[in-house]
Every structure is written in structure tokens, then in C-alpha cells.
């Protein structure tokens, strides 16, 4: 299917999509803060600039968008326009995610990922349950957490 806007307009639209302070990230931040968890945002000193850094707990939390990070769920679909570009772009994002998580764990950090499909769409989890799972992980000593939508 052909795009309904010109390539210049599409490029401007895609460039306008922000990478920080996204809606899923803001939902998590507000709920965790209300639950008494304190964090730093997007710490540039850490690999991957995690969305939330919990220094006292040596934990980081990423809120990954399913499209941009190539998640295998109903929210991800490779665009029909310029598929090779998007395949390479998303593969690069996934590789950076793996490298960042590996570096964080090697430096003693615990890594958590909450996927967008856990927050919205037909596979979304009840939000209160999702926050309980995040809070329980933050208080535990487990090194990894991955929360994705219900299959």
C-alpha cells in the first residue's frame, strides 16, 4: 500500500516521535513514584540511558515501545514502505538494547524491561498488577525482569 503523505512529510512525522517521556514511560513513572519509589531519569552515565534508574536498589527500568524495539507482538508490524531500511533500523535498536543490558549487568545493575504491549492493546495487563510486579522486582534481588502483554 502506498503512503498517503509525501516522503518529506513522513520523514518529518517520524523525526517528531520522541524517545523520552513517552506515554508508557510516564504511566510507569507516576505509578512507581506514587508507590514510594524514587528514581533518576535517563542517566547519561549509564549504558543505554535507562528510562528510570533506582540507584539505592542498583536497578534500572526500560519502557520499550514495541515498534521501535522490534518486539514480537501484535503492536509490531514492519512498514511496507522502505522495509529494508526499517529492518536495519530495528535490528540496530535491538542490538543496542542487548549491548546496553549486558554492560549494565556486568557493572552490577539489575535490568527490567516493560513492553508497551503490557500497557496497551489487546494484550494489556491490568495496570495495578503490572505496577505490583515492578514494585516486587525492585524490592527483590532478582537481576532481570521482563513484562510483556498477555498472550
> 1 pLDDT exceeds 70?
no
7 or 130, which is more confident:
130
Q: Which residue has the cell 518529506?
A: 8
What pLDDT is stored for residue 114 in this prediction?
98
User: Could you tell me the domains of the chain?
Assistant: 20-147 (3.40.960.10)
- Strand 40-41 versus strand 52-54 pairing type: antiparallel
CB 22 within 8 A of CB 65: yes
> 123 pLDDT exceeds 90?
yes
Other beta carbons within 10 angstroms of residue 87's beta carbon come to 13
> 112 pLDDT exceeds 90?
yes
Q: At CB < 8 A and 24+ separation, what contacts does 139-142 make?
A: 139/57, 141/110, 142/110
Conformational region of residue 70, where left means phi above 0, alpha means psi within -120 to 50, and beta covers everything else? left
Of 32, 36, 16, residue with least CA distance to 24: 32
The pLDDT of 50-66, averaged and rounded, is 96
Hey, what's the cell of 37?
519509589
What pLDDT is stored for residue 6 in this prediction?
84
The pLDDT of 35-63, averaged and rounded, is 96
Contacts of 118 (CB under 8 A, 6+ apart): 124, 125, 130, 147, 148, 149
> 143 pLDDT exceeds 90?
yes
> 17 pLDDT exceeds 80?
no
Distance set, CA 22 to CA 17, 19, 64, 127 (Å):
9, 7, 10, 16
Q: What is the pTM of this model?
A: 0.88
13 or 75, which is more confident:
75
The pLDDT of 53-78, averaged and rounded, is 95
Amino acid at each position: 500500500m502506498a503512503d498517503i503523505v509525501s516522503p518529506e512529510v513522513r520523514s518529518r512525522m517520524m523525526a517528531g516521535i520522541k524517545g523520552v517521556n513517552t506515554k508508557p514511560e510516564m504511566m510507569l513513572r507516576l505509578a512507581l513514584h506514587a508507590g514510594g519509589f524514587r528514581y533518576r531519569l535517563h542517566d547519561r552515565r549509564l549504558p543505554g540511558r535507562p528510562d528510570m534508574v533506582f540507584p539505592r536498589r542498583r536497578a534500572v527500568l526500560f519502557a520499550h515501545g514495541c515498534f521501535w524495539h522490534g518486539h514480537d507482538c501484535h503492536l509490531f508490524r514492519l512498514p511496507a514502505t522502505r522495509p529494508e531500511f526499517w529492518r536495519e533500523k530495528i535490528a540496530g535498536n535491538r542490538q543496542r538494547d542487548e549491548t546496553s543490558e549486558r554492560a549494565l549487568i556486568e557493572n552490577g545493575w539489575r535490568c527490567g524491561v516493560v513492553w508497551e504491549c503490557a500497557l496497551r492493546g489487546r494484550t494489556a495487563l491490568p495496570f495495578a498488577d503490572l505496577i505490583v510486579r515492578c514494585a516486587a522486582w525492585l524490592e527483590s534481588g532478582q537481576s532481570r525482569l521482563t513484562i510483556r502483554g498477555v498472550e
